[in-house]
Chains A and B, each alone.
Chain A
Amino acid sequence: MNTIETIKERYQQLQSSNGHSVLTPIEQDAFKTFNTLGIPTVKHEEWKYTRISSVFNKEYAFNPEAVSYSIGQTDLDPIRFPGYEQANELVFINGLYSSELSTIRSENLTVISLEEATRNEYRDLVLQHLGHSSKYIKDGLNALNTAFAAEGVFIHVKKGNIVEHPVYIYNIVDARTNNILSQPRTLVYLAQNAQVMFAETYATFGPSESFVNQVTEVVVEQDGSLEYYRIQNDAAHANQVNTTHIRQLGKSLVNTVTISLDGGIVRNNLNIAMEAEHSESHFYGLYFLKGNTHVDNHTVVDNVKPHCESNELYKGVVDDNATAVFNGKIFVQKDAQKTNAYQSNKNLLLSDNASVNTKPQLEIYADDVKCSHGCTVGQLDEEGLFYMRSRGISERAAKSLLIHAFAVDILEHIKPEKVREYVDQLIAERLGVELE
């Protein structure tokens, strides 16, 4: 049975067994959209350089409830972020939230299923915000995730609360016996004046292939502060498409860093909708690729209201046969006067077979704004290499130091020291350099 049939079969099963919920119409609409649009091919403008349909041609099992119960706390150890003893840990196995493996330490952090959220005081919030990403991501994969939205989780931070412990999210795919399709779905709501920090990572267990099709929607209200760090360092047979969709509904601050170090085909959609005046967003990315890894970062900043500021910097180091795509769009709507929006993408190609396709885009409908965008693709600086070698540093070490120096200004934007050091260590290990 091919994967599309597997999906359809499971969808029918869930729809008939779950009875009726307020989410059912949302799922049904999405499933219709999925059937119409299908899996995007390279003919789709937004998927021109990322051949995701080839991944779907393989057979995947999609039955997350049949999760092997053999995964325990100790299996998590290799992928845990440092400081986890003091953190909230949210664990997803094959796309489903596992409350048994998760630990919630902060009382002001609520994590429940979306289905449950619709049956209590969060009902209106869920109905108002779930699926907003589809206004920006118009493709079958986003719809496919939404068609199973009731299985997702709702994360809520109360008004005026600071979640003092970081929230670590681990997405585990148990591919020890089958290729696995997994679809994590999360809606995060930061009420007024709430603050939270997320760090998220992925791990595929076993030799079979995984495909993670993830959608994370985040709403940040007035005076909220969101930090979101995503680290992708999964196996070469792990593929993923993830959409992170952030709405700033009140004057607020968002800081995101996306680090991609390993994987098969990885597509990151990041949307930031700046829907309130005087909001600020910073989003940074580093992709450091080897082997045959393909990483595609598609970002959208939508300036809807005036007096907002956004800074975007993505840097890439691409080696071996790896390929990278950067597509960054800045929209400045008619009312969004006094917008400051900056975007930059810089790439280093380390081998003759490495490649990058970069496309910065600006669409400005207001007339009093400051915007800039640009991209560069280059190689390691020969003069810098010679300078270092003339001081006795071996060619290999000199290259490593130059690459690290290139990456370091992205890492500086990972504010929590423990997470930053963790990422820096992964990069240093790859480069074989010692850190100070």
Chain B
Amino acid sequence: MLSIKNLHARIEEKEILRGINLDIKAGEVHAIMGPNGSGKSTLASVLAGRQEYEVTNGSVEFLGKDLLELSPEERAGEGIFLAFQYPVEIPGLTTTNFVKTAVNEVRKYRGQEAYDAVQFLKLMKEKMALMEINQSLLSRSLNEGFSGGEKKRNEIFQMAMLDPKLAILDETDSGLDIDAIRIVSNGVNKLRNKDNAVLVVTHYQRLLDYIVPDFVHVLYNGRIVKSGTKELALELEERGYDFIKNEVGQEA
């Protein structure tokens, strides 16, 4: 589904990604872990099309298309979804109106008819139940005054509404207590199927107790320096990132 080859990216003059290689197939869950500043969030941002980052080398293919050629909205149309680490507050725009616009723009991109009010409401009710999110939250301005947990639940609700092929969760656990992590993770797990994939970007192992990965990759200094299965995450949790730094240091 997603094939990243030798990806280099920088922001202003600073090179952050220095040759990422990663393949994700449908039905898989991948986790990217790494110490602060290793480039985790940059990778998530580059995949979603954030413009501050300049890709200087390498390629990203998504479902047979050159992802790097597409605008952020086209990527969403193709099926990429980024759950933000810091969801943006937009006073004056209700969550419902925002999601309705997004769903219909994506449907338009995919050559589908826009939902009318009745169809949209039906879909929304269904996903609200799935995500354990209530109507009053959706009637409020987008993310404005939401708690950390509410913001992240809202992200996953949007994911449910847009039904992406590849969901990228950028530090979705940051700032959440255990109960909120459980609710958010349950939401993600309910959306998983054989045709979609999830890329979890996280600093801590604890989220992976709930969203269990098939593969774990350790990012350090802009490269994936170690890949393994979910046991690698437990090892990192136990030994800290220093052992990775030491291993890499020795190789160098």
What is the predominant secondary structure among interface residues of chain A facing chain B?
helix
- With A390-B72, A390-B82, A392-B162 in contact, is A381–B88 under 8 Å at CB? yes
Does A406 lie within 8 Å of B92, measured CB to CB?
A: yes
Does B73 lie within 8 Å of A395, measured CB to CB?
A: yes
A403 to chain B, nearest CB (A): 10
B105 to chain A, nearest CB (A): 5
Does A390 lie within 8 Å of B101, measured CB to CB?
A: no
Q: Confirm or deny: B109 has a beta carbon within 8 angstroms of a beta carbon on chain A.
A: yes
Does A393 lie within 8 Å of B97, measured CB to CB?
A: no
Does B71 lie within 8 Å of A389, measured CB to CB?
A: yes
Does A392 lie within 8 Å of B92, measured CB to CB?
A: no
Q: Confirm or deny: A29 has a beta carbon within 8 angstroms of a beta carbon on chain B.
A: no
Does A394 lie within 8 Å of B92, measured CB to CB?
A: no
Q: Confirm or deny: B16 has a beta carbon within 8 angstroms of a beta carbon on chain A.
A: no
Does A404 lie within 8 Å of B92, measured CB to CB?
A: yes
Does A387 lie within 8 Å of B77, measured CB to CB?
A: no
Within 8 A of B (CB), among A345-389: 381, 383-384, 386-389
Interface residues on A, range: 20 to 34
Fill in one digit per residue for A386-415: 1 if any B CB lies within 8 Å of its CB, else 0.
111111111101100110111111000000
Within 8 A of A (CB), among B75-89: 75-77, 81-82, 84, 87-88
Fill in one digit per residue for B141-183: 1 if any A CB lies within 8 Å of its CB, else 0.
1000000000000000010001000000000000000000000
What is the predominant secondary structure among interface residues of chain B facing chain A?
helix
Q: Confirm or deny: A436 has a beta carbon within 8 angstroms of a beta carbon on chain B.
A: yes
Q: How many residues of B contact A (CB 8 A)?
A: 34
Q: Which of B29-37, B43-51, B128-136, B233-241 contacts A (4 or more CB under 8 A)?
A: B43-51
Q: Which residues of A contact B101 (CB under 8 A)?
A: 393, 397, 401
Q: Confirm or deny: B93 has a beta carbon within 8 angstroms of a beta carbon on chain A.
A: yes
Q: Which residues of A contact B94 (CB under 8 A)?
A: 436
Determine which of A383, A387, A394, A402 lies in contact with B105 in the assembled complex, contact meaning CB atoms within 8 Å.
Answer: A394
Does A392 lie within 8 Å of B102, measured CB to CB?
A: yes
A325 to chain B, nearest CB (A): 24
Does A387 lie within 8 Å of B88, measured CB to CB?
A: yes
Q: Which residues of B contact A401 (CB under 8 A)?
A: 90, 93, 97-98, 101
Q: Confirm or deny: B228 has a beta carbon within 8 angstroms of a beta carbon on chain A.
A: no
Does B88 lie within 8 Å of A405, measured CB to CB?
A: no
Query: Residues on A close to B: CB < 8 A?
Result: 381, 383-384, 386-395, 397-398, 401-402, 404-409, 436
Extra 12 A-B pairs, beta carbons < 8 Å, given A390-B76, A391-B98: A389-B76, A391-B73, A392-B73, A392-B105, A393-B73, A393-B101, A394-B105, A395-B71, A397-B105, A401-B97, A402-B90, A436-B96
What would be 14 A-B contacts, judged by CB atoms less than 8 Å apart?
Answer: A381-B88, A384-B90, A387-B84, A387-B87, A388-B90, A390-B82, A392-B105, A393-B105, A397-B105, A398-B73, A401-B90, A405-B90, A436-B96, A436-B97
